[in-house]
A and B are shown apart, each in its own frame.
Chain A
Amino acid sequence: DAGVIQSPRHEVTEMGQEVTLRCKPISGHDYLFWYRQTMMRGLELLIYFNNNVPIDDSGMPEDRFSAKMPNASFSTLKIQPSEPRDSAVYFCASSPQGAGGYTFGSGTRLTVV
């Protein structure tokens, strides 16, 4: 099992550009979560999906953020336009039904200059 796979590992972009983060969950996991980690705010839940359907996106900071899960093996988090305050590490995690606990990806470190 390759675990949760995120790409890219690092992204540096200029303010105003569009950024797309990608996640491949573990096969068979029905839940997918996007978290953001910063020094100031710690780990924040942005959005989560169950069986590809968004359940709660109340953590998405602004309309500039959007997330999709077109199928069970792929999800994207898009920021358009990006701003310096979006700089953070973005984690994707997946979880099976009834098992408890998440498996996290290695994260994408985003720097917006």
Chain B
Amino acid sequence: AQSVTQLGSHVSVSEGALVLLRCNYSSSVPPYLFWYVQYPNQGLQLLLKYTTGATLVKGINGFEAEFKKSETSFHLTKPSAHMSDAAEYFCAVSRLSGNTPLVFGKGTRLSVIA
């Protein structure tokens, strides 16, 4: 069965600092991997996704993630944090394709300090 582990339920960074949110997955088949962001009182929005091909994936708002099969990781990064990045971030894995149910991690709350 597929599963996702997000290391750190809460990450705090200073404005302008590097953002690094960690995600490790477990999958018996080549995974499709996703990062979503949730702002307060809103639904989840897709940040980026990895399906096949290039392992470095660029998403919206300056975020990117790198699929590392050997480490079973899909960490999310952004070079310089903005106040507007404060939100909850979810990593998710899909079994075979984007149309089979996503299994979500517990989420990481990102705080950005001025």
Interface contact A104-B99, CB-CB below 8 Å: no
Stretch at the interface among A12-20, A68-76, A94-102: A94-102
- A35 → B minimal CB distance (Å): 8
CA distance A101 to B102 in the complex (A): 8
Stretch at the interface among B11-19, B20-28, B37-45, B67-75: B37-45
Total contacting residues, chain A, CB less than 8 A: 25
Report chain B residues within 8 Å CB of A99: 98-99
Instruction: Closest A residue to B51 by CB, please name it.
Output: A100
Report chain A residues within 8 Å CB of B104: 42-43
Interface contact B105-A42, CB-CB below 8 Å: yes
B80 touches A (CB below 8 Å): no
Interface contact B98-A107, CB-CB below 8 Å: no
Report chain A residues within 8 Å CB of B46: 101-103
Interface contact A104-B105, CB-CB below 8 Å: no
